[in-house]
């Protein structure tokens, strides 16, 4: 692919995941029937949710839940609230969850949900009513053994608490295992909030070992300072990495010797933004994304690195904290540049892995210490990194296609064992 690719087609998330899937399936010589089974979601649910707004008028919101696969266990995946949510995006994210769970070898399939809304323009009461009605509409399709939602873009512990309570009210018993990412006092897991960022740190540690770099001289730029970006930044700085750049919508920060992450975190907590932080110089975010560094971590949205800018990326390691930040066309350019890519379905799998731990703890009614959660997370992330790199070297493909091949192989193997019910 070249830079003449139609950008709108290139940035369609469903087409992006299908392109990677098709290439990996072809390399695996996957049976045509299984190819068809795994290429499509198993179930797509669309609900229209009437909500009484604070001023008394009724609004109808459209919500989705896509379950891509339940071959290896219950479907698992987040719920996002955003004005630009659409079915193609939710489909793509659901399939990425299937592959992500298979890469780290946890017993879940993939799902994703979303509601088209602007949560920043809604009151707490409106969000609660919308969340509860959405949960009620999905009651027969979700559950600890069916489909386990979690937080994603613009959703949090409180949204999960409302979902858990609504499901429990319909079930007539408290069921904490129906969602993950809950507050700790109602069945959440210690370490869950930091888990995705911690997983990014863990795979970066493995990558610098492989490339023979040292933490204290490794320069890191992070795009996004939400849950994933901020936790990755703080944990990496604490571990000795030099975080020289942070960029968000509307502005970026740069400091050659490394930004004081705890000071920036406190500034963000006080001011609600990183802009105006006195401990670093402000930079244009588009320039900062392409600045010279050792590790670049896109940890915000999809389609940040495309055929339009991939040739100007100046990092040795690209660790994808976000889902789908790199397009399929950009992959080819990064491969030519010999950038070591840690793909999203591996790099950000710390979140779903610790969600799995939360589900396990809820179901057994026994909760682990945070140190135990982090230790188990480390075991899984390091093993998954090693499997992907070995697969890449064995099959002569880049890390992303290797991760897809590993995941597809595991899911296809399970389907062959189970057989097709007819």
Residues taking part in catalysis: 112
**Tokens read off for 83:** 């004005």
Q: Rounded CA gap, 345 and 41, in Å?
A: 17
Q: Which of 397, 332, 408, 399 is nearest to 29 (CA)?
A: 408
Q: Rounded CA gap, 73 and 347, in Å?
A: 22
The alpha helices in 337-369, defined as continuous H runs, are 344-347, 350-364
Q: Rounded CA gap, 324 and 73, in Å?
A: 24
Q: Which of 166, 137, 150, 154 is nearest to 60 (CA)?
A: 137
DSSP 8-class letter at 305: B
The answer to whether 337 and 313 are in contact (CB under 8 A) is yes
Sheet bearing 43-52, strands edge to edge: 43-52, 58-69, 109-116, 75-82, 147-151
Q: How far is CA 343 from CA 113, 283, 319, 320, 389, in A?
A: 22, 27, 7, 6, 11
Give the pairing of strands 281-283 and 251-254.
Answer: antiparallel
DSSP 8-class letter at 121: G
Compute the radius of gyration of the chain from its Cα atoms.
21
**Tokens read off for 35:** 């190819």
Give the pairing of strands 43-52 and 58-69.
Answer: antiparallel
**Tokens read off for 167:** 């499901």
Q: Rounded CA gap, 295 and 205, in Å?
A: 11
Q: Rounded CA gap, 146 and 42, in Å?
A: 13
Q: Rounded CA gap, 115 and 95, in Å?
A: 18
**Tokens read off for 345:** 């379905």
Strand partners, 64: 46, 114
Strand partners, 297: 222
């Amino acid at each position: 692919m070249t830079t003449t690719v139609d950008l709108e087609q290139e940035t369609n998330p469903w087409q992006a995941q299908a392109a990677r899937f098709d290439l990996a399936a072809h390399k695996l010589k996957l049976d045509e029937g299984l190819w068809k089974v795994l290429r499509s979601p198993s179930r797509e649910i669309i609900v229209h949710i009437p909500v009484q707004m604070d001023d008394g008028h009724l609004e109808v919101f459209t919500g989705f839940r896509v379950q891509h696969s339940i071959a290896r266990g219950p479907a698992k995946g987040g719920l996002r609230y955003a004005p630009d949510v659409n079915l193609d995006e939710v489909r793509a994210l659901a399939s990425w969850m299937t592959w992500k769970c298979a890469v780290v070898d946890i017993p879940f399939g993939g799902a994703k949900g979303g509601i088209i809304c602007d949560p920043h323009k809604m009151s707490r009461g409106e969000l609660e009513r919308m969340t509860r009605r959405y949960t009620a509409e999905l009651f027969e399709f979700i559950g600890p053994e069916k489909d386990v939602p979690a937080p994603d873009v613009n959703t949090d512990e409180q949204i999960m608490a409302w979902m858990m309570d609504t499901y429990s009210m319909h079930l007539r018993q408290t069921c904490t295992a129906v969602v993950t990412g809950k507050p700790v006092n109602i069945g959440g897991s210690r370490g869950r909030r930091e888990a995705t960022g911690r997983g990014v740190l863990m795979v970066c540690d493995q990558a610098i070992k492989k490339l023979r770099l040292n933490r204290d001289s490794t320069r890191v730029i992070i795009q996004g300072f939400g849950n994933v970006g901020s936790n990755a930044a703080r944990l990496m700085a604490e571990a000795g990495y030099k975080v020289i750049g942070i960029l968000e919508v509307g502005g970026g920060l740069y400091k050659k010797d490394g930004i004081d992450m705890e000071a920036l975190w406190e500034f963000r907590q006080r001011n609600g933004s990183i802009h105006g932080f006195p401990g670093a110089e402000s930079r244009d975010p588009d320039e900062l994304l392409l600045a010279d560094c050792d590790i670049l971590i896109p940890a915000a949205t999809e389609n940040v690195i495309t055929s339009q800018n991939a040739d100007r990326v100046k990092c040795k390691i690209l660790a994808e904290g976000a889902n789908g930040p790199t397009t399929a066309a950009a992959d080819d350019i990064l491969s030519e540049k010999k950038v070591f890519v840690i793909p999203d379905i591996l790099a950000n799998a710390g979140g779903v892995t610790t969600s799995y731990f939360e589900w396990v703890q809820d179901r057994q009614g026994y909760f682990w210490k945070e140190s135990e959660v982090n230790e188990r997370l480390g075991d899984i992330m390091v093993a998954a990194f090693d499997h992907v790199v070995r697969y890449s070297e064995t099959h002569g493909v880049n890390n992303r296609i290797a991760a897809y091949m590993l995941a597809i192989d595991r899911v296809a193997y399970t389907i062959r064992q189970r057989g097709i019910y007819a």
